[in-house]
């Protein structure tokens, strides 16, 4: 694959947390990275009355400082018209897209609290709108631009919650839905040089998980002891995008901790995050039948 220009990526929901870390890792590889968020500056996002740091503008500046080109785009992913306008801008400015990372999700602060779904706010279901539906819409508008790439990739950030009980039914349905979107989109992309993958990330080292760990005790904090940085996962995604064998993986749900060693990727000081397959289960294999 010969390239004369930097690769172009879009990471949705990248003001902070997982999206920000993935975007920074891609920028460190010299990529042009479009990043989306609901506001350019800090929008007062909170968790347990603690203000979360970071902003869309900060992320874009950090991408450029890392060696890439960060382009912030304010976008409310619950608004289809704004999403359409986002991709129209990418088409005009870049002409194509190599990588779409569907990461944005509506995460309610009570998501990880114990208790049945009916005792929690109904708003938790918004993760199906901004998280699952929004991933479909973004992929829909991204597809024509990905088809112009030498090798394109649609990537969904999923988790072990797709296969086991984790944080309740809304979260689980969103993650399982992402796995299914990747499997079925891969079939539609066959022969077009674009792959679709869903990635099971382990526990992530973010400001949000740090605050949650402080609130939810030693067991939660112990689980984070072997957690991954979002940048680790960004490096895995970059390696997948540039893997000559990418198309043979298309449609699969992969555990990033398991495939990272094959690409020579680890955390700082060589720490290798563990797979939680034995504890939390493995990705579901899709049946090969196709009903057209």
pLDDT computed for residue 202 by the predictor: 92
48 is catalytic: no
> Are 30 and 3 a contacting pair, CB within 8 Å?
no
Of the given ranges (123-132, 135-144, 215-224, 250-259), which has the lowest mean pLDDT?
215-224
Region 238-245: mean pLDDT is: 98
Give the helix ranges, DSSP H, for 29-156: 56-65, 80-93, 134-146
pLDDT computed for residue 146 by the predictor: 98
CA distance 130 to 189: 24
Digit-coded pLDDT (tens) for 15-65 = 989 999 999 999 999 999 999 999 876 655 655 555 566 789 999 999 999
pLDDT computed for residue 189 by the predictor: 98
18: tokens are 């997982």
Mean pLDDT value across the chain:
91
pLDDT computed for residue 216 by the predictor: 57
Confidence class for position 218, pLDDT limits 50, 70, 90: low
Digit-coded pLDDT (tens) for 243-252 = 999 999 999 9
Q: Give percent of the chain with pLDDT exceeding 90.
A: 79
Confidence class for position 2, pLDDT limits 50, 70, 90: very low
Which of 165, 171, 220, 263 is an active site residue? Answer: 171
Region 236-260: mean pLDDT is: 98
155 backbone dihedrals φ, ψ, rounded to 5°: -125, 135
pLDDT computed for residue 244 by the predictor: 98
CA distance 121 to 185: 32
Region 140-149: mean pLDDT is: 98
DSSP 8-state symbol, 228: B
Question: pTM score, two decimals?
Answer: 0.92
What is the tally of helices (H) and strands (E) in the chain?
11, 9
In the chain, where the domains are located? 8-280
pLDDT computed for residue 1 by the predictor: 46
**Is the domain 8-280 a CATH 3.40.50.720 member?**
yes
**pLDDT above 50: residue 257:** yes
Nearest to 84 by CA among 148, 156, 36: 36
CA 9 to chain centre: 12
Q: Report the DSSP beta bridge partners of residue 10.
A: 34, 100
Which three-class secondary structure string do you get for 73-107? EECCCCCHHHHHHHHHHHHHHCCCCCEEEECCCCC
């Amino acid at each position: 694959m010969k390239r004369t220009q930097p690769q172009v990526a879009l990471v949705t929901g990248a003001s902070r947390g997982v999206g920000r870390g993935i975007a920074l890792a891609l920028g460190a590889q010299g990529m042009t990275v479009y990043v989306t968020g609901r506001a350019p500056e800090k929008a007062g996002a909170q968790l347990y009355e603690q203000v979360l740091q970071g902003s869309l503008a900060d992320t874009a500046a950090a991408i450029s400082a890392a060696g890439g080109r960060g382009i912030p785009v304010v976008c409310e992913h619950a608004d289809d018209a704004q999403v359409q306008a986002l991709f129209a801008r990418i088409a005009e400015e870049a002409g194509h897209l190599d990588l779409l990372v569907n990461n944005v999700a509506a995460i309610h602060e009570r998501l990880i609290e114990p208790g049945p779904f009916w005792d929690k706010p109904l708003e938790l279901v918004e993760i199906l709108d901004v998280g699952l539906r929004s991933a479909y819409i973004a992929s829909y508008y991204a597809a024509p631009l990905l088809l112009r790439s030498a090798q394109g990739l649609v990537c969904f950030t999923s988790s072990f919650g797709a296969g086991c009980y984790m944080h309740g039914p809304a979260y689980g349905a969103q993650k399982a839905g992402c796995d299914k979107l990747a499997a079925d989109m891969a079939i539609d992309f066959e022969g077009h040089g674009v792959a679709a993958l869903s990635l099971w990330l382990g526990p992530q080292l973010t400001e949000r998980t740090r605050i949650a760990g402080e609130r939810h005790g030693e067991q939660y904090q112990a689980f984070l002891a072997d957690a991954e940085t979002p940048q680790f996962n960004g490096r895995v995604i970059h390696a997948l995008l540039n893997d000559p064998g990418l198309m043979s993986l298309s449609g699969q749900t992969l555990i990033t901790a398991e495939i990272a060693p094959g690409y020579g990727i680890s955390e700082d000081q060589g720490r290798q995050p563990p797979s939680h397959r034995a504890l939390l289960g493995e990705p579901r294999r899709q049946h090969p039948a196709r009903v057209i």
